[in-house]
């Protein structure tokens, strides 16, 4: 029997999810998961999320860390890892690093940092509320900018894992050119920098209707020797572990034989697919 894990989970604390952390743990246990990682959205730099709609309020960071630690003690039947998801914001990375230091310093602090590219020159390209902006932009140029930014994020050395690697396709916007060169470069940079990637089932629930990353990009990562973990990007308890078996199958088809899982000491272990 496969050991299923989910390394990308949010809670109501981020402002755009529902359910308490304990509800997510109970859902994971009910689904038969052996391990899970909470990856709440790291507080954004001052002024970027004034209403706390898309990230954890700074005042709640310590509360979040303690909450997950208590759940780890309360539910020993499942491995619970504390993590955070941090945005790559090129001109404000000093602030991101400072907040990450606060999140990882304590003994009950975050042990895994997911990196995400959600912003391109201030435009949240994956936000349904700004989807109309795609109409006035060159899809080809957006794709090129996205992958260049993604590679820059890898080079920072800040992130353990890059979440949903081809998020730019979320609404189904595809470039007119052959994407393989972008994919090869992304895989090369990930391999050189030692960053892992995530196979995310969230894309199956979005307009694009496929995993992040797609089969061709996932194969490029595998061929380059880039380790991979998996996640649902759950924003509700019933999404925990959703279609993780599909992610495992895709990884196996791409050539992977193990999936990476963070441990509580900050290291990683391999789980056979």
DSSP secondary structure string for all residues of 101-129: HHHHHSTTS-SEEEEE--EETTEETT-GG
Q: Are 87 and 96 in contact (CB under 8 A)?
A: yes
Alpha-carbon distance of 226 to 222, in angstroms, equals: 6
| Cβ density class 114-125: b for 16+ within 10 Å, e for less | bbbbbbbeeeeb
The token pair that represents 139 in the structure block: 């899809």
Q: What is the domain range of residue 25?
A: 5-272
For residues 18 and 133, give the distance between their C-alpha atoms in angstroms, rounded to a whole number: 28
CB 219: neighbour CB atoms within 10 A?
Answer: 18
- The Cα 36–Cα 229 span in angstroms is 11
The count of structural domains within the chain is: 1
pLDDT tens per residue across span 180-197? 999 999 999 999 999 999
pTM of the model: 0.96
CATH number (domain holding residue 201): 3.20.20.140
Q: What does the pLDDT look like over 120-179, one tens digit per residue?
A: 999 999 999 999 999 999 999 999 999 999 999 999 999 999 999 999 999 999 999 999
Least confident span in 24-38, 104-118, 228-242: 104-118
């Amino acid at each position: 029997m496969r050991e299923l894990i989910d390394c990308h989970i949010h809670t109501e604390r981020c402002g755009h999810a529902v359910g308490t952390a304990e509800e997510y743990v109970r859902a994971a246990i009910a689904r038969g998961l052996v391990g899970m990682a909470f990856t709440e959205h790291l507080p954004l730099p001052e002024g970027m999320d004034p209403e706390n709609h898309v990230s954890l309020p700074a005042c709640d960071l310590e509360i979040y860390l303690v909450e997950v630690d208590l759940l780890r003690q309360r539910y020993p039947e499942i491995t619970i890892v504390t993590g955070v998801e941090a945005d790559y914001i090129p001109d404000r990375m000093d602030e991101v690093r400072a907040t990450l230091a606060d999140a990882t310093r304590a003994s009950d602090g975050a042990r895994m940092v997911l990196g995400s590219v959600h912003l391109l020159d201030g435009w949240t390209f994956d936000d349904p509320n700004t989807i109309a902006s795609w109409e006035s932009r060159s899809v080809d140029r957006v794709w090129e900018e996205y992958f260049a930014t993604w590679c820059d994020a890898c080079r920072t050395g800040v992130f353990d894992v890059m979440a949903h690697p081809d998020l730019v396709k979320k609404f189904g916007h595809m470039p007119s050119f052959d994407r393989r060169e972008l994919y090869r470069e992304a895989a090369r940079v990930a391999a050189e920098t030692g960053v892992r990637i995530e196979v995310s089932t969230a894309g199956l629930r979005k307009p694009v209707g496929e995993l992040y990353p797609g089969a061709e990009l996932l194969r490029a990562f595998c061929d380059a020797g880039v380790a991979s973990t998996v996640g649902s990007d759950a924003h509700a308890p019933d999404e925990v572990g959703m279609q993780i078996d599909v992610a495992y199958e895709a990884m196996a088809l791409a050539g992977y034989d193990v999936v990476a899982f963070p441990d509580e000491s900050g290291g990683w272990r391999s789980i056979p697919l």
